Structure formats: structure tokens, C-alpha cells
């Protein structure tokens, strides 16, 4: 078998493309925070109690997980299937049944901060492909990717386990216009640095 065919899709992700997309998303998001500060702040303050959005995000996160434990094979529903080793592969059939049930149960049962918990779940799921794109690649500025990703992992763990901290963080960030502007500019600069490194140093990685 061609080694490239045996690779998981995560392992095929280029640092250049992943970094460029991530950087552009950072720039766009923080630019929106600067230009449309009031509506963005309103959205963030309401986000923790947005049950419908929480159900959508939770569904996306758990469906993503379901694709990882899907049986090996060809086609879109099997493309992300991961090999977890003999011991954990045996649990895949159980997980394939349990996860859809969990999607429904959690979306209905959890009333408090569902959106924040779901955001944390998505953050944890997104960390793997981003880190895989960076794995064993050390061009100039590469540290920007794991630095941001591990920060996202830590934040996501808190969002899942202590979701009220998201509300507290939003309250702190929006307490003054100068603080909000400073945070927005910092994120904008970081995103611009990622884009610049991707264009200047990460081509071919």
C-alpha cells in the first residue's frame, strides 16, 4: 500500500495552508471585534445561554467524534476513521451507537451553559488536526501555531468543565472600551503574524 494512502487525513495537512487559514480567521475575527464592538459584545454576553446554538455546536462536535470512531472503509463517512490500537478499537462499535444517543441526550438534558461546553468540545476536536499540521515541521515562526493551539486546549478544558468562566472572561474583557480594544488589537496582530509567517516561511511545509 502506498504510505500516503495509509496516512490519516490529519497527517496530510500542510502547515502552510493550515496556518494561513487559521491566521486569516484570527485577523477577520479580531477585526470584527474592533469594527463591530457593540454587536460582538452583545453576542458574546448572550452566547452562554443560547440553548439552540449550543445544541447545534454540540451536535457538530459529537458528529465529528463519531466520524473518528467510524469503521474503516472508503467514502466520506469513513475518511476520518482513526486507528486507536487493538485495545481501544474493540470499543468502536459501542461508541458508534453511544455517540448518537449522547448527541440527543446532552442537547436536551443540559440546560446550563450548553453553548460554552459545546464550544469547548469543538476546541478540543480542532486541536488535533492543527497540531498534526505542525508536527515535525520547524520553519521560522512555527511556534506561533502550537502556542495558540495549546492555549485553545487549556481554554477548551475549562469551557467544558467550568463553563461559567467563559461568562466571567467576557465580563472582564468588556468591562472597559480600552481593554476590549487592546485585546482585539493583540489578537489582530497575532493573526497577522501567523499569516505573514505562512506566506514568507511556511510554503512547502
For residue 15, being part of any structural domain is answered with no
* Dist. CA 44–CA 5, nearest whole Å: 42
The answer to the question of residue 2 being in a domain is no
Residue 7 lies in a domain: no
Query: What is the pTM for the complete model shown?
Result: 0.89
Q: Is residue 13 part of a domain?
A: no
Q: Note the pLDDT tens digit of each residue in 154-201.
A: 999 999 999 999 999 999 999 999 999 999 999 999 999 999 999 999
In a domain, 160, yes or no: yes
Distances (CA, A) of 96 to 58, 62, 71, 183: 16, 11, 9, 41
Report how many domains make up the chain. Answer: 1
Q: State pLDDT tens for residues 31-57.
A: 999 999 999 999 999 999 999 999 899
What is the domain extent for residue 154? 22-201
Q: 3 pLDDT band (50/70/90 cuts)?
A: low
Q: Say what the alpha-carbon torsion angle 73, 120, 105, 88 is, to the nearest 10 degrees.
A: 40
Tell the residue number behind the cell numbers 467544558, with chain if given: 160
The answer as to whether 63 is a domain residue is yes
The per-residue pLDDT of the chain, averaged, comes to 91
- Residues of the chain with pLDDT > 90, as a percent, come to 69
> How far apart, in whole angstroms, are the C-alpha atoms of residue 72 and residue 79?
8
| Dist CA 4 CA 24 (whole Å) | 28
Q: Is residue 130 part of a domain?
A: yes
174 within a domain of the structure (yes/no): yes
Amino acid at each position: 500500500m502506498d504510505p500516503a494512502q495509509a496516512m490519516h487525513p490529519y497527517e496530510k495537512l500542510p502547515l502552510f495552508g493550515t496556518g494561513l487559514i487559521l491566521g486569516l480567521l484570527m485577523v477577520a475575527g479580531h477585526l470584527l471585534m474592533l469594527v463591530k464592538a457593540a454587536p460582538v459584545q452583545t453576542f458574546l454576553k448572550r452566547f452562554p445561554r443560547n440553548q439552540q446554538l449550543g445544541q447545534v455546536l454540540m451536535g457538530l462536535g459529537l458528529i465529528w467524534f463519531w466520524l473518528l470512531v467510524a469503521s474503516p472503509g472508503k467514502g466520506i463517512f469513513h475518511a476520518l476513521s482513526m486507528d486507536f490500537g487493538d485495545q481501544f478499537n474493540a470499543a468502536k462499535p459501542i461508541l458508534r451507537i453511544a455517540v448518537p444517543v449522547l448527541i440527543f441526550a446532552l442537547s436536551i438534558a443540559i440546560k446550563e451553559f450548553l453553548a460554552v461546553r459545546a464550544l469547548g468540545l469543538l476546541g478540543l476536536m480542532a486541536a488535533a488536526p492543527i497540531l498534526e499540521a505542525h508536527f515535525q515541521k520547524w520553519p521560522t515562526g512555527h511556534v506561533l501555531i502550537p502556542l495558540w493551539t495549546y492555549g485553545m486546549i487549556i481554554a477548551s478544558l475549562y469551557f467544558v468543565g467550568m463553563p461559567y468562566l467563559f461568562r466571567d472572561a467576557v465580563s472582564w474583557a468588556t468591562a472597559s472600551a480600552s481593554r476590549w480594544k487592546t485585546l482585539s488589537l493583540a489578537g489582530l496582530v497575532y493573526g497577522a503574524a501567523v499569516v505573514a509567517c505562512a506566506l514568507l516561511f511556511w510554503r512547502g511545509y
